[in-house]
A and B are shown apart, each in its own frame.
Chain A
Amino acid sequence: NAGVTQTPKFQVLKTGQSMTLQCAQDMNHNSMYWYRQDPGMGLRLIYYSASEGTTDKGEVPNGYNVSRLNKREFSLRLESAAPSQTSVYFCASSFPTGGLNTEAFFGQGTRLTVV
């Protein structure tokens, strides 16, 4: 029962470096999401993918790109990291049909520090 798996768990980047955060789910969910969590801000949606082959911007997309590689995998890329992107990043997945199936399942998070 892996659920939602994120890699890496921790990462330190220098300003201007690039990296990709990986996320995979084994629950056959159609929808996947990337959130960032900052102290006192709750979780804010960066990008989401309602189904394989589609992606849409969330509340805070600037500085990020995403790829829905297949139904299982949804990656988040920082092309040129900035200190403002220091955060904890969470991937989540859910069924898209709403109601009882709207529950999102979260990964354990990636703690990213940009120096």
Chain B
Amino acid sequence: AQSVTQLGSHVSVSEGALVLLRCNYSSSVPPYLFWYVQYPNQGLQLLLKYTSAATLVKGINGFEAEFKKSETSFHLTKPSAHMSDAAEYFCAVSDSGGSQGNLIFGKGTKLSVKP
């Protein structure tokens, strides 16, 4: 069975600092991996996705993630945090890689950005 582990339920950074949100996955088949962002009282919005085309994936709002098969990781980074990045971030893996598209989510990491 596939699973996702997000390390750190809460990460706090200063404005302008590097953002690093960690995600490790478990999958017996080549995974499809996603990062979603949720702003307060809103639904989830796709930040970026890995579908085997390239290991370094660029998303919206300056975020990117690198797929590392050897480490079974898909960490999310942004070089310089902005106040507007404060939100909850979810890593997810597609459980079949195709026919259903069901997503298995991590428990989420809440990002705080200090001025």
A interface residue numbers (CB < 8 A to B): 4, 31, 33, 35, 40-45, 48, 50, 58, 90, 92, 94-109
Partner of B105, one of A43, A48, A98, A100: A43
B90 touches A42 (CB 8 A): yes
* Contact partners of A92 in chain B: CB under 8 A: 44, 103
Indicate whether B25 reaches chain A with its CB closer than 8 angstroms: no
A50 touches B9 (CB 8 A): no
Within the complex, the shortest CB–CB distance from A36 to chain B, in Å, comes to 11
Indicate whether B49 reaches chain A with its CB closer than 8 angstroms: yes
Closest to B49 in A: A103
Indicate whether B55 reaches chain A with its CB closer than 8 angstroms: no
* Contact partners of B34 in chain A: CB under 8 A: 103
Q: For the complex of A and B, list the 7 residue pairs with the smallest distance between their C-beta atoms, beginning with the closest.
A: A98-B98, A106-B43, A42-B105, A42-B107, A102-B101, A43-B105, A106-B44
Within the complex, the shortest CB–CB distance from A71 to chain B, in Å, comes to 16
* Contact partners of B103 in chain A: CB under 8 A: 33, 43, 45, 92, 104
The binding surface of chain B is classed by DSSP as: loop
The binding surface of chain A is classed by DSSP as: mixed
A98 touches B97 (CB 8 A): yes
B46 touches A103 (CB 8 A): yes
B9 touches A45 (CB 8 A): no
B49 touches A107 (CB 8 A): no
12 contacts between A and B (CB under 8 A): A40-B107, A44-B105, A45-B103, A48-B100, A90-B43, A94-B101, A96-B101, A98-B94, A99-B97, A102-B51, A102-B97, A102-B98
A102 touches B32 (CB 8 A): yes
Which B residues from 1 to 51 make CB contacts under 8 A with A? Answer: 9, 32, 34, 36, 41-46, 49, 51
